[in-house]
């Protein structure tokens, strides 16, 4: 696609309510001056200048519009995710630019599940990511890495909440404690729903509030009544992204990778074209990302995004 066509597509998607004609992002006025020589507009009402990407995640853009379209196409096409290094090679841009761009797109993918409430039959399960400890070289120096006192404290639990045959909502917690899973479940599962969970004692307290089905994984994975295989199926996608693409996805941004993989899982039956359209529309109808604007100038996200911080 030529740059001119890409620019027209940006306008059409950004201002779809106004047939692709500019709408002032400052005051909402549709009366604007256009400039022949530059791709900017000036509002007749508030006199402020703006472009098609002002106030979106692409605000302050330096790449061509077609590069962003290509980035979105590569991003949605990669079912196991795409690493920043790969994206930088594909687009011919710097690694740092690709890293921030991919993370801005990940942030967009997280929006829809932020406050989602699941109904019907819902499966829950946790899986642990990160905090890898390399075993010591000499056998006599090796320790039991399963013990908490030998771990480095960086291991985190991605807690998956999934409607049967339906959507996944991921949240990151420190570990599957009763308090953490209860907080996540109260936020994301309707009180009328029935919950399928494994034998972990952290779920015991939920019997008072929800209809619960428990499955003992040391005996069987599906007993015809209870099963959490849907939630676990999604973990394998996140695990493939970790092992195959990113190699290391824990830490401050674990939730972003989990959001990306949930977005892709929830749309796995849609074709690339509709995914592309969806992500482009959401990217252009969402305010500037605070965590990723000026990232390399030191504007990092201050801490982890944990649903339950203890």
Q: Does 45 bind Zn ion (CB under 5 A)?
A: yes
Phi, psi of 8 (to 5 degrees): -60, -40
Q: Does 26 bind Zn ion (CB under 5 A)?
A: yes
Q: Which stretch binds Zn ion (CB under 5 A): 40-48, 51-59, 110-118, 156-164?
A: 40-48
Say if strands 211-215 and 194-198 run parallel, antiparallel, or are unpaired.
parallel
In terms of Cα–Cα distance, which of 18, 180, 209 is closest to 172?
A: 180
Q: Which stretch binds Zn ion (CB under 5 A): 28-36, 95-103, 128-136, 252-260?
A: 28-36
DSSP 291: T
- Residue number with CB closer to Zn ion (6 or 23): 23
Q: Does 46 bind Zn ion (CB under 5 A)?
A: yes
User: Total residues contacting Zn ion (rule CB under 5 A)?
Assistant: 7
Q: Which stretch binds Zn ion (CB under 5 A): 22-30, 77-85, 89-97, 144-152?
A: 22-30
In terms of Cα–Cα distance, which of 264, 286, 284, 285 is closest to 275?
A: 264
Pick from 27, 85, 117, 205: which binds Zn ion (CB under 5 A)? 27
Pick from 29, 49, 78, 86: which binds Zn ion (CB under 5 A)? 29
Tokens, residue 243: 């092992």
Q: Does 85 bind Zn ion (CB under 5 A)?
A: no
Tokens, residue 299: 């504007």
- Residue number with CB closer to Zn ion (26 or 246): 26
Tokens, residue 1: 């696609």
Tokens, residue 135: 């075993």
Query: Would you report the helix, strand and coil content of the chain in percent, each value rounded to 5?
Result: 40, 15, 45
Shortest spacing between CB 14 and Zn ion, in angstroms: 15
For Zn ion, the binding residues (CB under 5 A) are: 24, 26-27, 29, 43, 45-46
């Amino acid at each position: 696609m030529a740059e001119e066509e890409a620019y027209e597509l940006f306008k059409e998607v950004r201002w779809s309510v106004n047939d692709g004609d500019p709408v002032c992002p400052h005051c909402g006025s549709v009366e604007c001056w256009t400039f022949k020589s530059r791709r900017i507009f000036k509002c007749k009402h508030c006199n402020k200048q703006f472009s098609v990407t002002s106030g979106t995640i692409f605000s302050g853009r330096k790449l061509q519009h077609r590069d962003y379209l290509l980035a979105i196409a590569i991003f949605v096409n990669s079912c196991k995710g795409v690493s920043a290094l790969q994206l930088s090679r594909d687009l011919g841009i710097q690694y740092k630019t690709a890293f921030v761009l991919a993370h801005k797109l990940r942030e967009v993918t997280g929006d829809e599940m932020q406050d989602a409430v699941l109904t019907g039959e819902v499966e829950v399960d946790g899986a642990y990511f990160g905090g890898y400890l390399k075993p010591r070289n000499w056998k006599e120096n090796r320790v039991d890495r399963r013990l908490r006192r030998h771990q480095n404290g960086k291991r985190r639990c991605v807690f998956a909440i999934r409607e049967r045959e339906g959507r996944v909502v991921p949240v990151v917690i420190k570990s599957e404690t009763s308090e953490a899973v209860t907080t996540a479940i109260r936020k994301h599962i309707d009180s009328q729903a029935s919950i399928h969970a494994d034998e972990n004692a952290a779920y015991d307290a939920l019997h008072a509030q929800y209809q619960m089905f428990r499955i003992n994984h040391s005996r069987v994975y599906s007993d015809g009544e209870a099963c959490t295989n849907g939630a676990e199926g999604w973990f394998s996608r996140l695990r493939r992204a970790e092992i195959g693409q990113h190699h290391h996805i824990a830490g401050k941004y674990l939730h972003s990778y989990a959001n990306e993989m949930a977005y892709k899982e929830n749309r796995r039956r849609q074709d690339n074209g509709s995914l592309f359209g969806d992500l482009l529309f959401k990217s252009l109808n969402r305010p500037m990302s605070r965590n990723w604007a000026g990232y390399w100038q030191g504007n990092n996200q201050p801490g982890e995004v944990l649903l339950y911080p203890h």
